[in-house]
Amino acid sequence: MTDISVLNARYGIPGQLGVQVGAGQLAVVKVTNSRATATIALQGAQVVHWAPVGQHPVIWLSGAARFASGKSIRGGIPLCWPWFGPHPTEPAFPAHGFARTSPWGILETQALADGAMRIALRLTHSDATRALWPHAAELECHITVAAALEIDLVTRNSSSESITIGEALHTYFEVSDVRRIRIEGLEGCHYLDKVDGGRRRQQVGPVTFAAETDRIYLDTVADCLIDDPGLARRIRIRKRGSRSTVVWNPWIEKAARMGDLGEDGYLHMVCVETANAADDVVTIPPGAEHHLAVRYELEPR
């Protein structure tokens, strides 16, 4: 555990940002400003809470989430990197890479003139991460907390060869009842249906939910909207540097097997992930950088 007092002395902003010891003895950054509240775990640079002032939380965190060093946290915004899903050649390697379970360090915190708060974090590489992915690359996550939440995941290739990455912001959104919501913006897009063995299909109309759903929508850059009549709101997802959108809800049986989704947790979450996955992985030339960025904001229905 990094010394909390040292982090607060260097990066804390009185009354607005502080570092605390959270559940499972994991260090978290707490943000409270005039625009929103947020909590970010330094393990995984994972946002586990965000709510604009006066609004119901937008980011869902399981009530049964487990907080432990080196273990993934169920909910929030896990960062999948440098691959998405299972490793393409090594099935024993961790799913979704190692960024979401690795320690990150704080680079900078800044209170902006408009009342927003910006936090910059960097992945801490180790012998363990290099054994999984032996490439010279830096990974940073820049998070801006305000009435909108912005995340910019930056990969810099500092090697002499091109590198190829898969990645995703595996965001869990809080919804009133997944059976009543719909997702707009993916109409007409082709997707890989992972529930049906990866069969390629085409979306007709908005996405709705009545069973387990696990889809990678390909070659899509458009905004998505989560329309939630129960909370009388729409969540706009505006992305850049992404050509895939992953939509996931485990439904009843898979949620029960997972063990950390909580009772009926599947009803109150949906993942709409800004990604580069499957056919849409990214190749970064030597010395170049790639940004996977997203902006979340609420709109009235």
Distance (Å, rounded) from C-alpha 235 to C-alpha 185? 12
Backbone angles phi and psi of 289, in degrees to 5: -135, 155
In which domain, by residue range, is 76 found? 4-300
User: Among all residues, which ones are annotated catalytic?
Assistant: 170, 273
Domain containing residue 149: CATH number: 2.70.98.10
Domain count, the chain: 1
246-285 pLDDT, tens digit per residue, is 999 999 999 999 999 998 999 999 999 999 999 999 999 9
Q: Give Cβ neighbours of residue 73 (< 8 Å, ≥ 6 apart).
A: 41, 43, 44, 46, 48, 61, 65, 66, 67
What is the pTM for the complete model shown?
0.97
Alpha helix stretches (DSSP H) within the chain: 4-11, 127-132, 251-258
The reported pLDDT for the residue numbered 2 is: 59
Q: Span 47-71, mean pLDDT?
A: 97
Q: Is the pLDDT of residue 216 over 90?
A: yes
